């Protein structure tokens, strides 16, 4: 478990806050698009 946390913190230390924000925003957009596409496909399936 300690190795995992060490790896995560070393990766986080190399990334800037802008990279983390960009990643979070892109993940949110991807989740939203996935939800919308799934919703539309379910509507067409009926």
- Determine, yes or no, domain membership for 5: no
- Determine, yes or no, domain membership for 7: no
- Determine, yes or no, domain membership for 36: yes
pTM of structure: 0.58
Name residues whose C-beta falls within 8 Å of residue 10's C-beta, 6 or more positions apart in sequence. Answer: none
- Determine, yes or no, domain membership for 37: yes
- Determine, yes or no, domain membership for 32: yes
Total structural domains within the chain: 1
Structure tokens that stand for 37 in this block: 């596409």
- Determine, yes or no, domain membership for 8: no
Q: Tell me: the pLDDT tens digits for 31-46?
A: 999 999 999 999 988 6
- Determine, yes or no, domain membership for 2: no
* Helix segments in the chain, DSSP class H: 2-14, 17-45
Residue 33's domain comprises 17-46
Q: Tell me: the pLDDT tens digits for 1-24?
A: 678 877 777 776 666 777 778 888
Side-chain half-sphere CA neighbours of 25 within 13 A? 6
Q: Cα–chain-centroid distance for residue 18?
A: 14
């Amino acid at each position: 478990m300690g190795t995992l946390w060490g790896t995560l913190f070393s990766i986080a230390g190399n990334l800037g806050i802008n990279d983390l924000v960009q990643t979070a925003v892109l993940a949110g957009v991807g989740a939203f698009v996935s939800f919308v596409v799934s919703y539309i496909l379910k509507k067409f399936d009926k």
